[in-house]
Amino acid sequence: MEWLDEYEKLVVRMNTPRVVIDNAVCPTATLVQVDSARKRGLLLEAVQVLADLDLSINKAYISSDGRWFMDVFHVTDRLGRKLTDDSVITYIQQSLGTWNEPARPAALEGLTALELTGPDRTGLLSEVFAVLADLQCGVVDARAWTHRGRLACVAFLRGEGDADRVARILARLGHLVRGDGEAPGAVAAVPAAAVAHVDRRLHQLMAADHNNSATPYPAAAVSVQSWAERGYSVVTVQCRDRPKLLFDVVCALHCLDYVVFHGTVDTAAGDRARQEFYIRSADGSPIRSEAERERLAQCLQAAIDRRSLEGVRLELCTPDRPGLLSEVTRTFRENGLLVAHAEVSTKGGLASNVFYVTDADGKAAGQSAIEAVRARVGADCLVVGEEPRPPRVFPEAGPGDRDHGGGGLGLVYLGNLVKRNLYNLGLIKSCS
């Protein structure tokens, strides 16, 4: 019936997230506000979109009231500037303004995703890429993390649809990651479409690998407390700020089946970040036992530390060719360097790769080793780079800060309204 169709359209319009991006409210950051009916995972999707654009989230307010919630993010680019690129703003609005997760890049469609975990050692990543080169596999995109002596890698291969060929690849790689201890390695191949998001998948692989380890993990930066009167558990994270920190924490909570109802994020105090979340399990209950509390704290600490990006950052930009990754990582190994973190991408015949390298003991790599690698690979295409960090700006408030004109007036005190809402609920001590 026609009236039923119109009713369904109205329901869709009411439940579709509303995204407002405003540059007039705050003098130092762009405000991204997402209003929506409450949906599991929407907070992670919002943070994921911002993280994938390499945006810094300086402050955030999360408030869920009944069936509705509102997220407010104060964001800048990696150089600490407001967002002025219309294409970036449009992408954020389109990505967050739907119920669906952000679409995967079209370049990865039809590829095979190779997932690998195992005990890390000097040269392991080089051996992996050497096997792939020997089998004439085209690596389109790859990402590798190492943490506490373990390696996780997701690589997207071109043209590996033949089952027998995939079986040979898995057999060769399986010999490399076979472990002798309680947490042996594993390798698997799945369609690229099955990997919803590479960083999320790496968190899942390393979390599962960590669960197989009996080694306890000290949770120094995370505290988990119970608030039985309100039916919440309170998670507090205090650590050094870094790119994608909020994504890693929210991703870990989501993977562990916890739902964030309220929260605040603040990185204004120098280079320190403070995050506070009021959570419940997916079944609506708070944390019930000390064992569960300790497990959550350890898992969050691991999620924070596994993207610490320690080591010397090396950026490789050069025309792609078969065996490039094998050659570069072999050069690292021959000069005693360990790849602690790698991000590999190929677009339009150009390879754009980032490596974080240390010495064999996990300490800072020596300058002589770095220069030797650059001389072999090419000093023009392999450069030493530093992670861009936004400058901390603390402007003094003035009369002009309150008068921005036009459409910005409705959001001038939005952050304070959200904090006041948390205060009225008894979730924070002060809204001042």
Return the percentage of the chain with pLDDT > 90, whole number: 51
Q: Residue 403: pLDDT band by 50, 70, 90 thresholds? A: very low
- 201 pLDDT tier (thresholds 50, 70, 90): very high
Confidence of residue 178 (pLDDT cuts 50, 70, 90): confident
Q: How many CB atoms lie within 10 A of CB 227?
A: 13
The confidence score (pLDDT) of residue 362 equals 80
For residue 331, pLDDT beyond 50: yes
Length of the chain: 432
Q: Please compute the mean of the pLDDT values over residues 35-59 and round it to a whole number.
A: 91
Of the candidates 43, 432, 425, 12, which has an alpha carbon nearest to the alpha carbon of residue 254? 43
At 397 the pLDDT is 38
Q: What angle do CA 262, 297, 224 make, to 5 degrees?
A: 50
Interval 215-219 mean pLDDT: 59
d(CA 192, CA 201): 12
| Residue 115 predicted with pLDDT over 70 | yes
Cβ-based neighbour number of residue 6 at 10 Å: 10
CATH topology of domain 111-160+310-385: Alpha-Beta Plaits (3.30.70)
Q: How far apart are CA 23 and CA 165, in angstroms?
A: 52
pLDDT of residue 407: 36
Structure tokens at 325: 């990754």
Q: What is the pLDDT of residues 245-293, one digit of tens each?
A: 999 999 999 999 999 999 999 987 668 899 999 999 999 899 989 999 9
Token pair in block for residue 431:
């809204």
Instruction: Give me the amino acid identity at 332.
Output: F
- Residue carrying structure tokens 């090419």: 378
Give CATH for domain 2-103+218-307+413-424.
3.40.1020
Query: Contact, 54 vs 8, CB < 8 A?
Result: no
* Mean pLDDT estimate for the chain: 82
Q: Are strands 272-281 and 258-266 parallel, antiparallel or unpaired?
A: antiparallel
Q: In 342-396, which ranges are continuous DSSP H helix?
A: 367-377
What is residue 108's predicted lDDT score, i.e. its pLDDT?
67
Which pLDDT score is estimated for 406?
35
Which of 269-273, 346-350, 415-419, 422-426 has the highest mean predicted lDDT (pLDDT)?
Answer: 346-350
Each domain of the chain, given as residue ranges in start order, spans 2-103+218-307+413-424, 111-160+310-385
Among residues 303, 79, 341, the alpha carbon closest in space to that of 209 is found at 303
Residue with tokens 């809204």: 431
Q: Residue 259 has what pLDDT? A: 93
Q: Please state which of the ranges 15-19, 124-128, 245-249, 412-416 shows the lowest mean pLDDT.
A: 412-416
pLDDT band at 187 (very low <50, low <70, confident <90, very high): very high
Q: Residue 5: pLDDT above 80?
A: no
CA–CA gap between residue 258 and residue 373 (Å, rounded):
45
What percentage of the chain carries pLDDT values higher than 70?
78
Q: Which two tokens stand for residue 145?
A: 């993390």
Range with the lowest mean pLDDT among 108-117, 354-363, 390-399? 390-399
pLDDT value at position 1?
A: 44
